[in-house]
Each structure stands twice: as structure tokens, then as C-alpha cells.
């Protein structure tokens, strides 16, 4: 999934993949400046814009743990075009009409890369 014929696209995929493993899943917020631009723009309504806003929010939810060699979430695709990288995951949810039933869907996180860092993020999260 990390391969691309264009070396820039491959580098962008690797940047996002490693950010996901080390910072998002691994909880190593001290590595955020390695991956996120200081003026990082966050489109998820539950997280403040800016690298500091990301670190503040996720420090409450994720504690540091050993960094895995691979992303643990059920990643099904990494797509890169231009300065955008999209991670697509299988996501399980509870049926809102019948809480005893579960369903699967696809979740995505999209990132814009600028000057070798993640400058912007989108996902379909509603305000909680």
C-alpha cells in the first residue's frame, strides 16, 4: 500500500502512515512536530486547529505505548494524489435502529501535505 511510481507520492504515503503509527496509535505526542505543521488545519469538529490543539486533544485520549511496526487499525487502502493522502479503514458500528446489531462501513482520514509535513486533516466525524 505504501508503494507508488512517483517518489513524492510514496514519501507522502509514508509520512501519513508513520504519523498514524507513531503519534495517533502510539500516543507519542512528543513526535507531533516531526509530522504536523505548526499551523495544521483540523476539520474534525471535535479537535482544535493547530498542532498544539491536536496534541492537547489527543493527549487526553491516548497514552504513549510501544510503537508497532504496522498500523493496527484495519487499513484497507492508502490513496495518494497530488498533495493529498487518504487512509481508508473498515469500521464497525452499532445499528441505530437496533442496538443489538452491528454493521461495518468505511471510515477515512484525508491529509494534505505541505513542505514535508501534514498541513490539514479531514474525516467524517460528527460533532460529539
| Per-residue model confidence as pLDDT tens digits over 81-126 | 999 999 999 999 999 999 999 999 999 999 999 999 999 999 999 9
Question: Which pLDDT does position 35 carry in this prediction?
Answer: 98
- Report the distance separating Cα 31 and Cα 43, nearest Å: 21
**What is this structure's pTM?**
0.93
- The Cα 58–Cα 61 span in angstroms is 5
Note the pLDDT tens digit of each residue in 51-88.
999 999 999 989 999 999 999 999 999 999 999 999 99
Per-residue model confidence (pLDDT) at position 128: 87
Domains identified in the chain and CATH numbers: 7-122 (3.10.450.50)
Measure the CA–CA gap between 19 and 37, rounded to whole angstroms. Answer: 12
22: closest CA among 72, 92, 86? 72
Amino acid at each position: 500500500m505504501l508503494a507508488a511510481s512517483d517518489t513524492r507520492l510514496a514519501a507522502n504515503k509514508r509520512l501519513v502512515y508513520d504519523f498514524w503509527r507513531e503519534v495517533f496509535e502510539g500516543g507519542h505526542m512528543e513526535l507531533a512536530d516531526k509530522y504536523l505543521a505548526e499551523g495544521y488545519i483540523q476539520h474534525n469538529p471535535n479537535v482544535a486547529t493547530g498542532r498544539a490543539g491536536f496534541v492537547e486533544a489527543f493527549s487526553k485520549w491516548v497514552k504513549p505505548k510501544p510503537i508497532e511496526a504496522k498500523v493496527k487499525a484495519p487499513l484497507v487502502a492508502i490513496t495518494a494524489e497530488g498533495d493529498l493522502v487518504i487512509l481508508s479503514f473498515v469500521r464497525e458500528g452499532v445499528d441505530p435502529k437496533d442496538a443489538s446489531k452491528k454493521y461495518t462501513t468505511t471510515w477515512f482520514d484525508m491529509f494534505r501535505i505541505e513542505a514535508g509535513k501534514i498541513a490539514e486533516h479531514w474525516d467524517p466525524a460528527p460533532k460529539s
